[in-house]
Chain A
């Protein structure tokens, strides 16, 4: 345990040094992170204004609040392991990682958390600025704020496990682009990145409830926007916990199988 903590601290330092060294690309990356939700925010605001100031029970300013929160939730839960894995396998770096006496996922978790710790403050500044520009007002219940943080953490953990599992597809095929893209499309519509789920056709909403995606993005947002009752919020946490277990088991199973395949042909 102590060794793990040290690993995380060391990884934090490395990540920090890397980010300083590559600050230009970091800045550009953040612009991209902001722009995508911003585009949807603008499109939906226009549609809402055309519609007389609201669609369903979302007013124009609530659309703004939704997409700004989305930007923040996405910032916290985002991972890049799917690209990273492909690169590692292609360049043959992964074999070195396997030689280390610690499971490779730890380095990724540590790297992810470290870079988030560094970039999130500036994202919050951007979010507040956008909130002012688009006249957003939020008044969440104290219990909603209290539940938001565990919900956000669980969302991060589930997304991390799912994407790390998907990334392992690289063990079987080096051409994982199609799988990744399918995942991103599902994510786009079913997690609420494209629009609040309530505005999508009913079948999609049903699908969204069955699949894990909405629990990664939409659920924490809904919490802060006061769209859930206390009971609904608690059920949501329960569902998240269930998905956490499922995704963790999946990760373990795929890892075992994948490492077998990798050591047979790849290494």
Chain B
């Protein structure tokens, strides 16, 4: 309950600091529309030469793009900004202020910043997703929707843990702000079903950089491709990563307290 209150308080601060830059709403809208346009243009060029890509038709790929935008929006809204600020705060020493606060440091670090305008991506992603599903004529039952939400939450948790692990590395390597930027270009690979990729890359995008769980798996749930093994695997991976990232975070903190100046 208190966590929710804290999150809202931080979100509110984000709102206040961003309304000063209202113009950013239009910038972000513009950028989001552009990246949507790029995705659609790409799909239409590719599907002018083929009917299916790894067993997915154009509308199904569009649904995947919707999930891609949606999850990208979630990452941009709440996951990435906090981690970026955390990495910066290790470098400039402002983390000390966070650590002297009487609240769990991982929580504070995770929610300390939000990027309001990413809500646009989330809205756009949902719009694309719904459009694609309607055009597919797919009937999404309650069961399927439930599965979708479940794997989406699992995917979000996996990405969050992954970001946390990457960011925690900054306790050892001071300059790694790049690390998050690069995630973005790896995330691009999630615009396509991971089943397209050769084995080593598929495994890489599933288990090393868990893009597959964030995009392909939820899209599978909506297009009736999800089997129960994947569902269980996603849930287990999510739980394990949450625990592992938490442990790693604590090791990092211990190191920070032990060796930093």
Contacts and interface: CB of A to CB of B under 8 A. Distances in A.
A42 B196 contact: yes
Interface in B161-187: 169, 173, 175-179, 181-182, 185-186
A39 interface: yes
Q: Which of B21, B49, B176, B197 has the most A CB atoms < 10 Å from its CB?
A: B49
A189 B23 CA distance: 27
B178 A28 contact: yes
Contact of B21 (A43, A47, A175, A185): A175
Q: Which of B35, B173, B178, B181 has the most A CB atoms < 10 Å from its CB?
A: B178
Interface residues of A, number: 33
B38 A185 contact: yes
Contact of B186 (A22, A32, A194): A32
A50 interface: yes
B93 interface: no
B34 A47 contact: no
A178 B27 contact: yes
A211 interface: no
A43 B192 CA distance: 8
Contact of B50 (A39, A50, A195): A50
Interface in B37-70: 37-38, 41-42, 45-46, 49-54
Interface in A238-266: none
A228 interface: no
Interface in B119-161: none
A51 B176 contact: no
B201 to A, nearest CB: 7
A200 B45 CA distance: 7
B30 interface: yes
In this complex, the interface size class of chain B, counting residues with CB under 8 Å from chain A, is 35 or more
Contact of A25 (B35, B50, B176, B188): B176
Contact of B196 (A24, A46, A182): A46
B190 to A, nearest CB: 10
B102 interface: no
B255 to A, nearest CB: 16
A175 B22 CA distance: 12
Given A50-B50, A195-B45, A32 B182 contact: yes
A201 B42 CA distance: 12
Given A39-B188, A189-B41, A199 B173 contact: no
A47 B197 contact: no
B42 A194 contact: yes
A50 B34 contact: no
A24 B173 contact: yes
Contact of B53 (A29, A43, A55, A189): A43
Nearest to B197: A42
Contacts of A162: none
A43 B39 CA distance: 13
B258 interface: no
Contacts of A267: none
A36 to B, nearest CB: 6
Contact of A31 (B24, B182, B197): B182
A21 B174 CA distance: 10
B52 to A, nearest CB: 7
B25 to A, nearest CB: 11
Interface of A: 21-22, 24-25, 28-29, 31-32, 35-36, 38-39, 42-44, 46-47, 50-51, 55, 175, 177-178, 181-182, 185, 188-189, 194-195, 199-201
A-B pairs with lowest CB-CB distance, top 3? A25-B178, A32-B185, A32-B182
7 contacts: A28-B179, A35-B188, A42-B196, A42-B197, A43-B192, A47-B46, A51-B50
Interface of B: 21, 23-24, 27, 30-31, 34-35, 37-38, 41-42, 45-46, 49-54, 169, 173, 175-179, 181-182, 185-186, 188-189, 192, 196-198, 201
